[in-house]
Structure 1
Amino acid sequence: MTKNEWWRHAVIYQVYPRSFQDDNGDGVGDLAGITRRLDHIASLGVDVVWLSPVFTSPQKDMGYDIS
């Protein structure tokens, strides 16, 4: 295995921002909330954080369809 194949054994943690952590009190998770919890994610032994889409979207493809 080469250094370029690190992902084969990496621990990947997916974060869905809207429901992960609300930082500003509006009831919807946000980037500030994720940032506030990075120490917790790191404590899990995570190598990579996969951040689900945060762009404005019509939600026909779980946020991957950017409007």
Structure 2
Amino acid sequence: MTLNNTHADWWKQAVVYQVYPRSFKDVNGDGLGDIAGVTDRIPYLKELGVDAIWLSPFYPSELADGGYDVIDYRDVDPRLGTMDDFDAMAAAAHEAGMKVIVDIVPNHTSDGHVWFQEAL
């Protein structure tokens, strides 16, 4: 059976812009990029013709591996913002017609993650 869905192939022609939130844009002035900084730059990304934003890990992390040592895949690192900030960013991206892709890296789980701790 062949699925004829034009939406399924969106990625073949899409412009995908990778964002490393920690260095992308700092909105709150603490010297570290944040989720609100991504939201702030959505109009610019749209102007560039971006179809999807690919977010590098923004989860709580001990930063032993550049944020890839994830402690909790279901939350936002408090240094980068809150879940409300993430929801606002995703809503703004969707309103601008952009998709949001989050980088889920289970092979980089921190030794501080509950899964790792329970395995000890």
**What range describes the TM-score normalised by the shorter chain of this pair?**
0.7 to 0.9
Which residue of the other structure, out of 14, 17, 20, is the alignment partner of 1:13?
A: 17
Whether 2:15 is the aligned partner of 1:39: answer no
Question: 1:26 and 1:36 mapped to 2: Cα distance?
Answer: 16
Superposed CA RMSD: 1.7
TM-score when normalising by structure 2: 0.50
The DSSP-based 3-state class of the residue aligned with 1:40 is helix
Question: 2:43 and 2:21 mapped to 1: Cα distance?
Answer: 16
Unpaired stretches in structure 2, ≥5 consecutive residues: 72-120
Unpaired stretches in structure 1, ≥5 consecutive residues: none
Question: 1:31 and 1:50 mapped to 2: Cα distance?
Answer: 13
Q: Which of the two has higher C-alpha Rg?
A: 2
Whether 2:30 is the aligned partner of 1:26: answer yes
- After superposing the two structures, state which structure 1 stretch, 34-43 or 57-66, moved more: 57-66
Question: 2:5 and 2:68 mapped to 1: Cα distance?
Answer: 31
1:54 corresponding residue in structure 2 = 58
Percent of residue pairs identical = 54
Question: 1:56 and 1:46 mapped to 2: Cα distance?
Answer: 27
Larger RCO, structures 1/2 (Cα 8 Å, 6+ apart):
1
The DSSP-based 3-state class of the residue aligned with 2:39 is helix
